[in-house]
Structure 1
Amino acid sequence: MSKPSIAILISTYNPNPVFFKQQMDSLYKQTYPCTIFVRDDGSNDEESIRAIKTVEKDGKVIVRWCNNIGYGASFLTLLSEVEGFNYYAFCDQDDIWLPDKIERSVAALSGAAGSCIEPTLYFSHYDFYDRNMNFTGHSTFEGKDTPLSFRNALVDVNILGTTMVFNEKLRKLMIRCDANLPVSHDWWAYLISSGCGNIIEDRQVTVQYRRHGDNSSGVGNSRLQKFVFRIKEFIFNDNLSKVRKQIICFAEHYSSELNSDDQKILNLFMPGQRVIKSLRKAMFPKKWRITVPEDLQCRIIFLLGRL
């Protein structure tokens, strides 16, 4: 019996040549065979382009040179174009994967009950490193139970894209929607899998997540940094408009696949009875976000009618 096939999907944009090489080297050292696809999202830096062309020339990677559409849409576009595999993994351009990352994910997905017929997402824990790969901290959920739920996925994303591996069933669901509508590829995967499928958590660290100040996501590795980032992005930069579009897109394409409780929660974000729904969300008895400060911030946003 042949092994399940897996595609690694990378979106690049002016990658640091040194960081990119280190990431690619870690992919080549995986103990499980993979096919690697790169979609370059309109890089214009000569050294970055040269680094990508180097791996393309070596024949180890399938590269697609494309126009810039943003990292989230770029990942989802690549996901819609690559098919025929059992499993798919998102990969950033500047981290380092531990050698058994893919092998662990495939084992978990293959052994999970129902993963052959239901949309299933696997994710692992990770550690933070600085630009020189010095350890700086553990992932948010280290030593704690991860409070994953559809309710949380509507207003937050708590799974890092580069730790995700998922099956063909989830891929097909994810590409129903226009790639430009979701806020990010990893948030979209979390939202759909929490509402329409299953999530497998691996508490083992499989990724060394590099934070160097130029990441597409500006979230740091402390709760304070994460809190400040969200204040800036969702209050002052009005990224909540993108979140609203994402929720509406989800409702249009997937609401019929939710259970009755999750359908009721989703309805709180739909148009109509705005004041009443804002109050109901703000007074909801269960937490929307993980920590008390983050949850309070979310409820204030509801009361202000921003989401």
Structure 2
Amino acid sequence: MNIEKMDSLEEKRIIILMSTYNGGDYLDEQLKSIYAQTYKKFRVYVRDDGSQDLTKEILNQYKQQYENFEWFSGENEGASKSFFLLMKIVPLEDAIYVFADQDDVWLPHKLQHIYKVFETDDNMKPVLYCGDTILADDKLQILKKENFGKKIYPSFGNALIENICIGCTSAMNSCLLSKLVEKVPQYEVMHDWWFYLTAACYGTVIYDSEPLLYYRQHEGNAVGSGATKRSRLARRIRNHKKHKNQISRQVEEFSEIYQVYGENAGLIECIKRYKDSPKACWKLVTNRNIRRQCSLDNVIFKILFLLKQL
């Protein structure tokens, strides 16, 4: 693909990507928060993933009201595939690509903040931005969140076994978008984890501890975030049972799509071979570069690797 260059003296355009599915209860509130942004140079692209409620009516209303709003209707593919399909539709230019969920609410300065992050980006290598959120219930009442002041350290070794990128907080340059759509994965745990893997392998990942949106928690969330230690543990156990072998399968897919060299290639081989080789398994478990952010979590996952459960 050829990337259309914009005048370097101009502000970069922001392209917002959203996938919707039966989001009628919260969609209007989210779109209002987008159009209330202090940074105005943006365009919204929405792919509807086969909604059966009022979602399409709301999208039509915004299409009629705003010239910088487009939406497309599609078959139900699930959130991850829907976002990848949308990424192949949107124009590829020297812009900032910002991802949005249908049920959150953005703080007014979110786009301005992200623009500042990417303002000096030369678009020569993939860059992924992601960050923290304000957890809220379905009425946008803030939920208590345990915060230990822990810093997040993005790395490829971390990306192999843990996702720190919440999709609704993510933004990227066109260099990363171009790489992601060259060959869309047939299997990925979620699109945002695939973003993190790719950017950590080939470019830069920026994790921002300043939350820029209310991350609404409700029964319809495709992926939620527990507000307490107990709920997070319960969610992790559920996900492990539901997606057994998901980590090794995703790593296998990544290695088939991309050419990986050097230290990163060695880390991939640790994951790919640990079930068949006791030596490779021990190498994985003792490798300090393959790690999760939380120390206790890291120990648990290393035990699961020894048990060949990931």
Q: State the TM-score, normalized to the length of structure 1.
A: 0.89
After TM superposition, the structure 1 = structure 2 runs for residues 1-307 of structure 1, keeping only pairs within 5 Å, are 1-17=9-25, 19-32=26-39, 33-45=41-53, 47-59=54-66, 60-85=68-93, 86-112=95-121, 115-138=122-145, 143-234=149-240, 236-237=241-242, 239-256=243-260, 258=261, 260-271=262-273, 273-285=276-288, 288-307=291-310
Structure-2 change in CA distance of 1:77 and 1:8 (3 Å): same
Quote the offset at 1:287 in angstroms.
6.1
Confirm or deny: 8 A CA contact 2:15 2:45 kept in the other structure: yes
Tell me, in whole angstroms, the C-alpha distance in 2 between the residues paired with 1:41 and 1:242: 24
Structure-2 change in CA distance of 1:277 and 1:224 (3 Å): farther
Confirm or deny: 8 A CA contact 1:76 1:179 kept in the other structure: no
Q: State the TM-score, normalized to the length of structure 2.
A: 0.89
Structure-2 change in CA distance of 1:179 and 1:251 (3 Å): closer
SS at match of 2:63: helix
Structure-2 change in CA distance of 1:36 and 1:247 (3 Å): same
Deviation by residue 1:26-52 (Cα, 9 ceiling, x = unmatched): 10011222100110011122x233223
Confirm or deny: 8 A CA contact 1:125 1:142 kept in the other structure: no
Tell me, in whole angstroms, the C-alpha distance in 1 between the residues paired with 2:185 and 2:77: 10
Gaps (5+ residues) in structure 2? 1-8
Matched pairs, number:
298
Confirm or deny: 8 A CA contact 1:77 1:179 kept in the other structure: no
Tell me, in whole angstroms, the C-alpha distance in 2 between the residues paired with 1:277 and 1:96: 45
Tell me, in whole angstroms, the C-alpha distance in 2 between the residues paired with 1:180 and 1:97: 31
Aligned to 2:3: none
Tell me, in whole angstroms, the C-alpha distance in 2 between the residues paired with 1:70 and 1:254: 24
Deviation by residue 1:248-276 (Cα, 9 ceiling, x = unmatched): 121123343x5x22221111122474332
Tell me, in whole angstroms, the C-alpha distance in 1 between the residues paired with 2:142 and 2:194: 29
Structure-2 change in CA distance of 1:4 and 1:146 (3 Å): same
SS at match of 1:266: helix
Structure-2 change in CA distance of 1:281 and 1:179 (3 Å): closer
> What's the % identity of the aligned pairs?
27
Confirm or deny: 8 A CA contact 1:227 1:294 kept in the other structure: no
Gaps (5+ residues) in structure 1? none
Structure-2 change in CA distance of 1:187 and 1:232 (3 Å): same
RMSD of Structure 2 on Structure 1 (CA): 2.1
Tell me, in whole angstroms, the C-alpha distance in 2 between the residues paired with 1:160 and 1:56: 27
SS at match of 2:211: strand
Structure-2 change in CA distance of 1:4 and 1:285 (3 Å): closer
Quote the offset at 1:8 in angstroms.
0.4
Confirm or deny: 8 A CA contact 2:187 2:250 kept in the other structure: yes
